[in-house]
Amino acid sequence: MSMVEMIHKKRDGSALSQTEIQHFIAGYMVGEIPDYQVSALLMAIYFSGMNREETVTLTEALVASGETLDLSMLAGIVADKHSTGGVGDKISLVLLPLVAAAGVTIAKMSGRGLGHTGGTIDKLSCIPGFRTDLTRTEFLAQVRDVGIAITGQTPQMTPADGLLYALRDVTATVDSIPLIASSIMSKKIASGAQNIVLDVKVGSGAFMRDLASARELAQMMTSIGAALGRKTVALLSAMEQPLGFAIGNHVEVIEAIETLQGYGPADVKALSLALGAELLVNSKLAPSLAQAEEILSALLNDGSALAMFRRFVAAQGGDTTAVDTPAKLGTPRNRGELRAVAGGFLCELDALKVGQAAVLLGAGREQKGAEIDLLAGIILHKKIGDFVAAGELLAEIFCNSDEKLALATTQLSSAYGYSEQQPPTSPLILERIEAENI
């Protein structure tokens, strides 16, 4: 089969065979298929889509392009969590030590942030001494001894995904559901966990802006997981406004610690409990989701989750005294304020615009590999539904440059909308999607 025939076939809406998909990935990896033909095929996939079988095959081919992690020597069911990315999303920092305190074994490989969405590895890098580059042996030993390890993704895993993503990024083919689903799931499958919970964000600050596309993505990802023998559940969660009050690496670590101390924002706690309950039930550590949430709440309240976070930070070389003394995480040079120009109920706090303001501050990177300012960030003082009087403080803004502060403040102010009536409260968790039993 030639690449031209494959492009033709997909352009005209037909499904590609298993052999064709494997040939395309293997040929691209060894440099036999040029970028221009892969770009054309990606665009054909963007318009014609891929069915479930094609998407599963693509995922397997991406996994087969590199190293995989075998976790079978570890006792119990190893779990992992993935978020499709949002603004203020520090859930992994709360959820993973919390479920580890309940006995769930966590082996997570994570990425750095890109654009307006943050990344767990950047956040963990705020903790002095914390290592995000564990070797395979160190990673496995820590999962075995501590019950939780989180490290950066290695380029040796799913290298074909890295190549394809770079091409998608410059050919306007990132936002294709089969391409996103196979890209995310290939990394989850290669890193070995059996029990996967997915947080699929929906709204202005998310990849998926509407419920229907988020549902389609979640259905595709959970069915890939099931087809490849992994227990996979997805929750669809709201990302119209940022999660919690803190946006930016340093401030999000502090907010995550506060949540582990039992007094974090209600939405951060609720989502951590809901995702955590899925992991507990699928690890056979709780008989029902309701009982799992009770177990997890107790572990937050009695300090066990925070103690597990300390053990995890210590195991990866981090300064555990920073957990109790946030000043040890550093102090940004500039502090600005955004105050309300008019009064009313806050009815809009556009997550995308807030995320873009954080990028302008230097908290997020516009290009892969770019340096970021870990101390830059925003603390919201009001969220949707709150009443705001004219002149009241809406947000504090932190960074290390006067110029960035001015630009970001203007951008942040465009995120707010007011109404005379209090807007109805909207749910945080919109749907739960589980693949067919495996």
Q: Which residues are catalytic?
A: 82, 161, 168, 183, 187
Task: For the segment 131-170, give every residue that binds ligand URA (CB under 6 A).
Answer: 165
Least CB distance to ligand URA at residue 242 (A): 19
Q: In the complex with ligand URA, which residue's Cβ is closer, 183 or 219? A: 183
Shortest distance, CB of residue 183 to ligand URA, whole angstroms? 3
Residue 251 beta carbon to ligand URA: minimum distance, rounded to whole angstroms = 24
**Which among 278, 264, 293 has a CA at the least distance from the CA of 431?**
278
Judged by beta carbon, residue 174 or residue 270, the one nearer ligand URA is 174
Q: Is 224 in the site for ligand URA (CB under 6 A)?
A: no
Tokens of 189: 């499958």
Residue 100 DSSP SS3:
helix
Distance, in Å, from the CA atom of 153 to the CA atom of 109, rounded to the nearest integer, reads 5
CB of 223 to ligand URA, least distance (A): 17
Report the candidate in 124, 399, 402 with the shortest Cα–Cα distance to residue 252: 124
Shortest Å distance, C-beta 324 to ligand URA: 34
| Cβ partners under 8 Å of residue 77, min gap 6 | 104, 105, 194, 195, 231, 282, 283, 284
Q: Which is nearer to ligand URA, 86 or 336 (CB)?
A: 86
Would you put residue 103 in left (φ > 0), alpha (ψ -120 to 50) or beta?
Answer: left
Of 172-180, 287-295, 311-319, 355-363, the segment contacting ligand URA by CB under 6 A is: 172-180
**Which residue, 110 or 142, has its beta carbon nearer to ligand URA?**
110
Residue least distant from ligand URA (Cβ): 183
Residue count, binding to ligand URA (CB under 6 A) = 6
CA distance 128 to 125: 7
CB 198 within 8 A of CB 218: yes
Binding mask 174-213 for ligand URA (x = CB under 6 A): x----xx--xx-----------------------------
The span from the CA of 144 to the CA of 138, in Å, is 10
Decide whether 170 or 266 has the Cβ nearer to ligand URA: 170
For residue 331, CA distances in Å to 126, 381, 393 come to: 11, 19, 21
Q: Least distance from C-beta 117 to ligand URA, angstroms? A: 9
Give, in degrees to the nearest 5, the angle at Cα 189 between 188 and 194. Answer: 95
Contact region with ligand URA (CB under 6 A), list: 29-37, 134-142, 173-181, 422-430: 173-181
Q: Which is nearer to ligand URA, 153 or 283 (CB)?
A: 153
**C-alpha atoms less than 13 angstroms from C-alpha of 265 in its C-beta half-sphere:** 23
Chain contacts with ligand URA (rule: CB under 6 A): 165, 174, 179-180, 183-184
